[in-house]
Amino acid sequence: MANHLFLPLVSLMIGAALAVLFGRQRWLARGIVVGSVLFHLVYSLRLLWVVAEHGRQVSQAGGWLAPFGITFVADGASAIMLAVASLLTLMTVLYSFASLDEGYERYFYYPLLLLLLLGVSGAFMTGDLFNLYVWFEVLLLASFGLITLGGTRAQLEGGLKYVVLNLFGSIAFLIGCGLVYGVVGTLNMAHIAERMQTIQQPGIMTAIACVFLFAFGSKAAILPLFFWLPTSYHTPPVAVTAIFSGLLTKVGAYSLYRLLGTVMQNELIHLAPWILTIAWLTMLVGVFGAMAQMNVRRILSFHIVSQIGYSVMGLGLASSLGLAAGLLFTAHVMIVKTALFFIGGAAEQIYGTGDIKKMGGLARREPALAIFWFLGIISLAGLPPMSGFFGKLALLQAGVTQGAWLVTSVATLTGILTLFSMLKIWNEVFWKKSYADVSKLPRVSPGLLLPGALLVIVSLALGLGASVLVDYTTVAGMQLFDQAGYIQSVCGLDGCEAVFQTAIR
Amino acid sequence: MSILLPVAIGSLFAGAIYLLLRRSVVKLFLGLTLLSHGVHLLIFSMGDGLRRGLPPITAADGSTLPGTTDPLVQALILTAIVISFGILAFILALAYRANQAVKSDDLDDMVTTDRL
């Protein structure tokens, strides 16, 4: 029970502070940033192993007992998310070295990136509702800085919408925190879960669950709340879009998993039909939106919305099987989506535009880029042997097992439409020959190719070694859905209420 | 007093939503600020010390002393105020820069990223 879960957060804080201090010495600052993200990555890979061996890990801040202090909990779900998040951040740092000019570095781009990872990691591990709110604000403020850094007109306009709608979501989250405290009188997630079982009026908890669904849904970009995403995500530099697509919406989805899946399970079961409806509508609207677009990053942005529908479907199935499948899919899509943004962004950098009508002939010019793009899109569409196949297979299996036919068939259809929409980019950018003189184009630098290629290889490896990942997420899904086990890990065998009553006596 | 608090919260929410629906960026941000104050008061109303968290210091028989209350809600509001103050500073700077770039305070002039 040592306080070791705080280690990666401390390393990121120190890394960010040092990177600000030594911002003038370019290589020193870069070294500090890479060092602290590497530490985070190594730590979270070790955490994956520790959680698999020993089960949930719990740390209490300052040694305060569970319902009183701030608790950090790492189970399978948080360990997977943490590992993927730090892998993506590391790749983004490498991609930024190759793609961003020096101005960004001077205006604290890398410290903001570290703070983003800090907020995301805190949100993945915290076991306290209000603390989750604080981590969300940390990551939001860092993302506000990242999306407007550069200050072009498009960025300011897109950033404005992003900021306003995310702040509105945060305020809804805060209302939810206040109401939870008013009803159950605690903010520790395990304690909330325990006290909710004795609440006399179940209606009020359902209302609160809906407030949280709204708050996290607007951050995860589910159906009626996603409009901020496609108008803002294509405006900042590619590296920023890529890390946003990998982390931000997924934190919203993860928080829904944690809060509805673990803490408010009864409400999840009440709301499940509605959540499933939102899920299939989100999938369809996202993919249709993507089909109408003609800009690489806007197409990919709409696909983020569509893929969030799959993550929400895992939640809506309201079982450990569904949550496990959703986790597997979310981890896969974080990796692949970021990879596609890297590769599409590299193509954009070559042509100087993101309009796919004005591009073409890249398959001959840059075969490596084309191969990795192709592997990436078949992974996103869900074809074997990539990880996307197993992510979708698990979700469809869970859907069929539970008889959720409508959402399962829409999920299958959306897979086909996704392939269609991605092949549009493939045809226009890589396959067709219409571009005047391909040989005049600049070559893609290894720094731009490598991060995306590595992530696609990770996706391929996860697809080839799928049994490991499936086993891991199955256990993680059971841990996530195991409310009694969660309470016992956090507060001890007698539960939080016993600790609470002993302490106030 | 117990009537005043809900009325104050309700008026803050109503005013905030009215401002949020205006087209001006400045009014939009004022609306967000008012909304966060409304939420702070809402949280404040959640700790009445009866059934929820008790004050940390009680009489020897466990009954609540007069003039004490649950401090946790106030700690929560304090945290939320600090955060919303930081965000206010950021959005003011953002509104200023957006106004410089677009040369307008009207949200309907900020649609270039929607079309593209």
* Interface predicted TM-score of the whole assembly (ipTM), two decimals: 0.91
Contact list in B for residue A145 (CB cut-off 8 A) is 90
What's the token pair of residue A412? 């299958």
Question: Is the pLDDT at A348 greater than 90, yes or no?
Answer: no
pLDDT at residue A32, as a whole number? 94
Classified as helix, coil or strand, A128 is strand
Helix axes A238-256, A296-316, angle to 10 degrees: 10
Closest-CA residue of B relative to A236 is B113
Residue B57 has pLDDT above 80, yes or no: no
- Residues with Cβ within 8 Å of B103's Cβ and at least 6 positions away in sequence, in order, are none
Distance of alpha carbon A180 from alpha carbon A164, whole angstroms: 24
Please, which residues have CB within 8 angstroms of residue A404's CB and are 6 or more apart in sequence? A276, A316, A317
If one compares B110 and A76, the residue with the highest pLDDT of the two is A76
Say whether pLDDT at A437 is over 80. no
DSSP per position, A145-188: HHHHTT--HHHHHHHHHHHHHHHHHHHHHHHHHHHHHHHHS--B
Contact A231 B83 (CB under 8 A): no
Give the pLDDT mean for A297-311: 93
The first and second tokens of residue A92, run together, are 């983004």
When pLDDT is averaged across residues A411-428 and rounded to a whole number, the result is 90
Secondary structure letter of residue A442 according to DSSP: P
By C-alpha distance, the chain A residue nearest B92 is A160
Quick check: B49 pLDDT over 50? no
Q: Is A152 on the interface with B (CB under 8 A)?
A: yes
Residue A179 has pLDDT above 50, yes or no: yes
A134 vs B contacts (CB less than 8 Å)? 79, 83
- C-alpha count within 13 angstroms, C-beta hemisphere, residue B112: 12
Whether residue A296 contacts residue A344, with contact meaning beta carbons closer than 8 Å, is answered with yes
* Residue A260: both structure tokens together: 């509805």
pLDDT in tens, A212-255: 999 999 999 998 888 889 888 888 999 999 999 999 999 999 99
Q: Which two tokens stand for residue A409?
A: 């068939």
Under 8 Å between Cβ of A136 and A170? yes
Q: Beta strand A71-74 with A57-60: parallel, antiparallel or unpaired?
A: antiparallel
Q: Which residues contact A29 (CB under 8 A, 6 or more apart)?
A: A18, A19, A22, A23, A105, A110
- Of A274, A266, A9, the residue nearest A119 (C-alpha): A9
Residues A430 and A372 sit within 8 Å (Cβ to Cβ): no
Provide residues of B within 8 Å CB-CB of chain A: 20, 25, 28, 32, 35-36, 39, 42-43, 45-47, 51-54, 72-73, 76, 79-80, 83, 86-87, 90-91, 94-95, 97-98, 101-102, 110-114, 116
Q: What is the pLDDT of residue A434?
A: 65
**Which tokens in the block code for residue A498?**
């016993």
Mean pLDDT of chain A: 90
pLDDT of residue A360 exceeding 90, the answer is no
Instruction: Average the pLDDT over each of A315-319, A364-368, B41-45, B68-72 and give the range with the smallest value.
Output: B68-72
CA distance A387 to A468: 12
Amino acid identity of residue A489, one-letter, is S
Q: Which of A169, A52, A146 shows the shortest CA–CA distance to A100?
A: A146
State the amino acid at position B31 in one-letter form: G
CA pair distance A27, A323, nearest whole angstrom: 43
Q: Which of B20, B79, B98 sits opposite A157 (nearest CB)?
A: B98
Nearest CB partner across the interface for B46, out of A148, A171, A181: A181
The reply to whether residue B94 touches residue A234, judged by beta carbons under 8 angstroms, is no
pTM comes to 0.93
Place of tokens 């490498």: A94
Q: Minimal Cα–Cα distance from A390 to chain B, Å?
A: 35
Q: List the end-to-end C-alpha distance of chain A, in Å, as a whole number.
A: 25
> What's the rounded Cα separation, in Å, for the pair B10 and A275?
30
Q: In this model, does residue B50 exceed pLDDT 50?
A: no
pLDDT at B87 over 70: yes
Question: Which of A134, A152, A159 minimises the CB distance to B79?
Answer: A134
A493 at B interface, C-beta within 8 A? no
Nearest CA to A312 out of A379, A404, A187 is that of: A404
Q: Is A379 on the interface with B (CB under 8 A)?
A: no
The stretch A327-353 carries a mean pLDDT of 91
State CA A357 to chain mean position distance.
30
Helix axes A405-425, A296-316, angle to 10 degrees: 160
Measured between CB atoms, does A158 come within 8 Å of chain B? yes
For residues B2 and B49, the model is more confident at: B2
DSSP letter assigned to residue B64? B
Of A504, A409, A500, the closest CA to residue A191 belongs to A500
The residue among B21, B90, B116 with the most chain A CBs within 10 A of its CB, best to mutate, is B116
* Structure tokens, A159: 């950033």
Please tell me which of the candidates B42, B51, B83 has its beta carbon nearest to residue A185. Answer: B51
Please list every residue in chain A whose beta carbon sits closer than 8 Å to the beta carbon of residue B10: none
Q: Is residue A22 pLDDT above 80, yes or no? A: yes
Q: If contacts are CB pairs under 8 Å, which of residues 245-274 in chain A contact chain B?
A: none
Residues of A in contact with B45 (CB under 8 A): 182
**Closest Cβ–Cβ partner in B39, B45, B90 for A171:** B39
- Residue for token digits 């959680």? A51
Beta carbons within 10 angstroms of residue A294's beta carbon:
15
CA distances from A217 to A12, A134, A250 (A): 27, 18, 10
Computed from CA positions of residues B57, B63, B68, B74, in that sequence, does the dihedral angle turn out positive or negative?
positive
Distances (CA, A) of A75 to A60, A182, A371, A489: 15, 28, 36, 10
Residues 6+ apart with CB under 8 A from A24: none
Domains of chain B (ranges, CATH numbers): 3-57+64-108 (1.10.287)
Digit-coded pLDDT (tens) for A203-212: 888 999 999 9
In this prediction, residue A1 carries a pLDDT of 43
Give the separation between CA A70 and CA A55, rounded to whole angstroms: 20
Q: Is A3 on the interface with B (CB under 8 A)?
A: no
Which residue in B43, B83, B91 is closest to A178 by CB distance? B43
- On whether any CB of chain B is under 8 Å from the CB of A383, the answer is no
Terminal-to-terminal C-alpha distance of chain B: 53
Compute the average pLDDT of residues B40-60: 71
The per-residue pLDDT for range A109-165, each reduced to its tens digit, is 999 999 999 999 999 999 999 999 999 999 999 999 999 988 888 888 889 999 999
| Shortest alpha-carbon distance between residue A184 and chain B (Å) | 7
Given this model, what pLDDT does residue A199 score? 80
HEC-encoded secondary structure of A206-251: HHHHHHHHHHHHHHHCCHHHCCHHHHHCCCCCHHHHHHHHHHHHHH
Contact B97 A182 (CB under 8 A): no
- Chain A residues within 8 A of B111 when measuring between CB atoms: 157
pLDDT of residue A302: 93
Residue A435's pLDDT band, with cuts at 50, 70 and 90, is low
Place A332 in a pLDDT band, splitting at 50, 70 and 90. Answer: very high
